[in-house]
Structure 1
Amino acid sequence: MTQLLWLRCDLRSRDNTALNAAMAAGPTVALYVITPKQWLAHDDAPCKVDFWLRNLRLLAERLARLNVPLLVRHSDDWSGVPAVLAQVCQQHDVRAVHLNQEYGVNESRRDAAVAKRLRADNIALHSHLDQLLFAPGTLLTRSDTYFQVFGQFRKLCHARLQLGVPAVLAEPAAQAPLAIASDPLPEGVEHFAATSAQIHQHWPAGEDGASRALDDFAEQRLDDYQATRDFPALDGTSQLSPYLAAGVLSPRQCLHAALRINQGEFDSGSPGVVCWIGELLWREFYKHVLVGFPRVSMHRAFRRETDALPWRHAPEELAAWQAGNTGFPLIDAAMRQLRATGWMHNRLRMLVAMFLSKNLLIDWREGERWFMRHLIDGDLAANNGGWQWSASTGTDSVPYFRLFNPLSQSRRFDPDGSFIRTWVPELAHLSARDIHDPAALGGLFDAPAYPRPIVDLSRSRERALSAFKHLAELRP
C-alpha cells in the first residue's frame, strides 16, 4: 500500500520518525503544503519561511536519493488542508498517511480535521512523536496534571532518561523507484519578502550543515557553555535553534551529541553539558505547557489574573524599542541584531522582554508578536514561554519584582562593549566605561545620531512594581 509522508516542521531525512515508519510500511510519497495566509496569521517571519523553503530544497535532494518523490501543494490556510490531502491520496492510491505530531490549538484542530476527512475516505492516519523526547501527557504531577514548575518537570525527565534515552534513527534505505515525478519547488512565497544574502550566509540550510554545527558545538564549546552562554559577544551558545524549530535537527540528535562527550551523563559531569541539556528540557517543558494549558497559544496569559494589568498604550515607545532606538545601548544592540540576522542571544531576549513589559509597561503580546515576525527560529511554545516568563505572567515565571537593569546587565555581560560596538556603531568611539551609559556623559556625549534614554529606569521600575502590587491587592 502506498504511504504518504506529510512533512511539516520536520525537514530532515535522518532521525525522522514518520519517514522511517512510512518507508517501513510500504512505497512512500512525501507531501509539503504551502499555506501563506496561515503563516501570516501566525506572524511567521519572512526569514523563517525562506529558511523552510531552502531546507525543503535540500531535503528534496535527499529524498530523491531515497527514491521518495516530493509533492508540493498550495492552500491559502489550514482550512483547505484536509481536502488537499484527500485529493493527493486519491490521485496516488494512498492508503495511509504518516505525520509527526505538532502542538498548539490551531495545529491540533487542523490535524483533527485531517483525521476526520481521511477516516471518511477509509485512509489510515499514523501520528508519531518526533519534536519531543516525551509525549505530552506522559509526564504529569502526582495529581495527574501538567507541570507548572520547571524544576519538578526536569526532575521527572531525568528519572525517565535514567530508564533509557530515546534512540536516534538512521536514514532509511532507498526504496524502489516510483513512477511519480517530484514537483518543482517555489523560489518564494506570496506575502513574504525576499531574505537578505546576509541571513542566507549566517544561516545556511540543510541537515548536513546542521549536523556539522551540532558536532562542532559539542566538541569545541559545549564544555564551556555554562561559563560563556551569557556573554553575547562570545561564540558561547549553540545557535542551533533555527534548525530545531524547522526540524532540520531533532532533540534526540542534540541529546545524543551532548551525552557522547559527557560519558553518557545528563545530570552530572561537565557543567556545560548539564546546563545545555537543561535548555533542551526547557524547550520540552514549554511544549508540554502548550498542550496542558492551551490558552497560552490563544493570546492569553497563563496567570489569568495578570490580564488585569494596566498595560500602557505607548506607540512611540514601542516603535523606539522595535527599531533599537531606546537610548539604552545593550537593548538597542539586541534589537538591531534581531532585525539584521533573524536571531537574538538568549540573555538579551530576556533583557529586552523585561524592558518592554516592565520598564515600559507595554503588553508582552506586542513583543511576542514582534519577535515572531522577525525570528528565524520563531517557535510558538518557546517564544510565548519566554515572553510570559519575562513579563511575570507565565508558568514558573520570574517574580514580578525582579527586573533586569539594562545598564548593569550591559557592564556585566558586555564589559568591553564589543557587542554594542558591533550593532550600535555610532557609539563605537566611546570607551569601555562610557559605552554602556552614554547619557551619563551629559554635554560631553558626542553622538548626535543616538537618542537619549526614553525612560527613567528608577521611576519605571517603581511604576511596574506598583502595577503588580495593585494586582495582588485585587486578588481575593
Structure 2
Amino acid sequence: MRSLVWFRADLRCADHTALHAASRVSTRGVVALFTICPDQWREHDWSDVRVDLLRRTLIDTSRSLWKRRIPLLIETVDRFADVPARLLEVMRRHECEALYMNAEYEINERRRDDAATTTVRGAGFAVHTCTDQVVLAPGAVQTGKGDFYSVFTPFRKSWIARVESGGVPAPLPAPKKQDDPGIAPDEVPERIAGFEADPPAAAHWPAGEREASKRLDRFIEHAIADYKDRRDRPAVDGTSTLSPYLAIGAISPRRCLHAAWRANGESLSGDGGAATWISELVWREFYRHVLVGFPRVCMHRAFRPETEAVGWREADEDFEAWCAGRTGFPIVDAAMRQLHETGWMHNRLRMIVSMFLTKDLLIDWRRGERHFMRHLVDGDLASNNGGWQWSASTGTDAAPYFRIFNPFSQSRRFDPDGAFIRRYVPELASLDAKAIHDPSALAPPERSTLDYPAPIVDHAKGRARAIKAFERIRTA
C-alpha cells in the first residue's frame, strides 16, 4: 500500500503524527503533498514574512523528506474549495490508497478537510486524520456538564490532569529511509503569487526544523529557569521566540511540552520558569479549543455577543498613527515599529498595544487583529484572535472592561531604563531613563527639539470613554 501524507501547518519530519502513522503501514512507501493556496491565504490576511518563512521551510522539509526517499509534491490551487479534487487527482496519479493528515481547527480549514474527506472516501480511498497541532484534541477535556470550557483556569486544571493521567507524550521519531518510489520531488517555487519575496523581516527568521530545534534547546538550557521573571521585559532575551515555528509546524507542541516537563522535574505544575512556560503552551491549546467549541470567533465575531454593541470609533487618523508607531506613547510606538521591522512583537507589548487601541482609542479590535495578521511572522488565528479579544474585553476569560493598562506605567515597569524604546524609537535615544517614557512631560523648549509627536489621546480621558462605552451596553 502507498499513502499520501498531506502536509499543512506541520512542516517537519520528526514528531509528525500523520507521517509517522503512514510510514509504519505503507508497504509501498509514502508520498508527501503540500498545497499552496495564494488567494485563500490573502483572504486570511497572511503576511509576506509568514509566507516567506513557510516557503523557505518547505525547501528544508523537502530536503529532509527526500533523504528518506519521500518525495514532496507541490500543488498550487487558488482556494481551499479547489483542494479536494486536486488531492484525489494526485492520489490516483501516484496510486495512493490512503490519505493521512493532521487536523486543523480553524473553521475554513475544517470545512476544507471535511470536503476532502468526503471526496477521497467517496472514491474508495481511506482517510486518517491525526491529532498533532495540539497535545489534546479540542473537546478532549470538558466541563462537568459536557461543555467546552470558556475560562482558562479550570481548562488548565483539567488539561494538566488529563495529560498527567496518560503520561506526557514523548516526541515521535522521524521515519526511516524507504525504498526509492520512482517519484521525484517537486521544486518549491521561488515566490508565491501575491506575496513579497524575501521581505526585509525575513532575515530575523532562519527557516527549518533544525533552527526550531536549536531555539528550543537554547531556551531550555539558558532561559527557561528565569522565564517567569524575565518574560515581560522586551529588552532582554527572555522568551523562546518559537511562535513562528509553532505557527508553521517546524516544531511540535508535543516536543515543546516534553522538553519543558523534563526541565520542570517531570512535572507540569509549579511556580517556576518552566511551569510558567508550560502554562503558555496550555493557553495555546485553550485558544484552539475555543475555535472548535465557539466557531463564531473564526468569523470576525466577538466571543461575548453583547459586546458587538460597543460603540467603536472609526478614527482613521488615530488608527494610522497607531499602525505607524506615531502615537506619542513611546512604548506603544516602539512595539509597533518592532512588528514592522521584524515581523514579531513581544507578548507583553502585544497586550499593551492592543489594549491601547481598543481602550484608549476605542477602535474596534478587529482592525487591530487584521493589522497584526498582515504583519506577523507567527500570525495564528487562534492565538491572535484570543489575545485581541482578551485585551478588548470581548473574549473568553477576557480582562474586565475597566481593567485598562496605563501605557506610561507599563513602560516604566517593563522597560525601566528605556533600552527597548531606544532601540526602536531612536529619536528619543538621548533622553534619560525617566523622561524617555513620557516625553510630553518635558518642558516645551526641550520637547520642541524632538522629532516626536505629542500623545494622540489623553490616557485618563480615553480610559473614561472606554469604561462609559462598555457600561452603556451593560445597561441597554
Q: What TM-score, normalized by structure 1, do the two folds share?
A: 0.98
What are the superposed Cα offsets for residues 151-170 of structure 1, whole Å, 9 maximum, x if unpaired? 00000112112211122101
For 1:234 and 1:91, how far apart are their aligned partners in 2?
52
Equivalent pair of 1:427/1:447 in contact (CA under 8 Å): no
- Does 1:425 find its partner at 2:426? yes
TM-superposed deviation, 1:356: 0.4
What are the superposed Cα offsets for residues 439-474 of structure 1, whole Å, 9 maximum, x if unpaired? 111412144421111001111110000011111111
Q: 1:318-337 alignment to 2 at 5 Å? A: 318-337=319-338
What are the superposed Cα offsets for residues 271-321 of structure 1, whole Å, 9 maximum, x if unpaired? 101100000000000000000000000000000000000000110000000
Equivalent pair of 1:66/1:175 in contact (CA under 8 Å): yes
For 2:272 and 2:163, how far apart are their aligned partners in 1?
18
For 1:304 and 1:131, how far apart are their aligned partners in 2?
28
Partner of residue 21, structure 2: 21
Partner of residue 310, structure 1: 311
Equivalent pair of 1:58/1:206 in contact (CA under 8 Å): yes
Aligned length: 472
Pick one of 72, 75, 93 that aligns with 1:73.
75
For 2:263 and 2:449, how far apart are their aligned partners in 1?
48
Q: Residue 99 of structure 1 aligns to a residue in which SS? A: strand
- Does 1:175 find its partner at 2:202? no
For 2:62 and 2:361, how far apart are their aligned partners in 1?
46
Equivalent pair of 1:426/1:447 in contact (CA under 8 Å): no
For 1:283 and 1:226, how far apart are their aligned partners in 2?
17
Q: 1:317-396 alignment to 2 at 5 Å? A: 317-396=318-397
Structure 1: 4+ residue segments shifted above 2 A: 194-197, 446-449
Partner of residue 119, structure 1: 121
Q: Residue 318 of structure 1 aligns to a residue in which SS? A: helix
Select between 438-447 and 72-81 the one with higher mean Cα deviation. 438-447
Identity %: 54
Gaps of 5+ in 2: none
For 2:92 and 2:164, how far apart are their aligned partners in 1?
45
Partner of residue 405, structure 1: 406
For 1:382 and 1:83, how far apart are their aligned partners in 2?
31
Q: 1:192-207 alignment to 2 at 5 Å? A: 192-197=195-200, 199-207=201-209
Partner of residue 441, structure 2: 440
Partner of residue 260, structure 2: 258
Return the letter of the residue paired with 1:126. Answer: H
For 1:72 and 1:442, how far apart are their aligned partners in 2?
61
Q: What TM-score, normalized by structure 2, do the two folds share?
A: 0.98
Q: Residue 31 of structure 2 aligns to a residue in which SS? A: strand
Partner of residue 169, structure 2: 166
For 1:34 and 1:468, how far apart are their aligned partners in 2?
42
For 1:24 and 1:295, how far apart are their aligned partners in 2?
38
For 2:367 and 2:443, how far apart are their aligned partners in 1?
32
For 1:262 and 1:78, how far apart are their aligned partners in 2?
41
Cα RMSD of the aligned pairs, angstroms, is 0.9
- Does 1:11 find its partner at 2:11? yes
TM-superposed deviation, 1:219: 0.9
Gaps of 5+ in 1: none
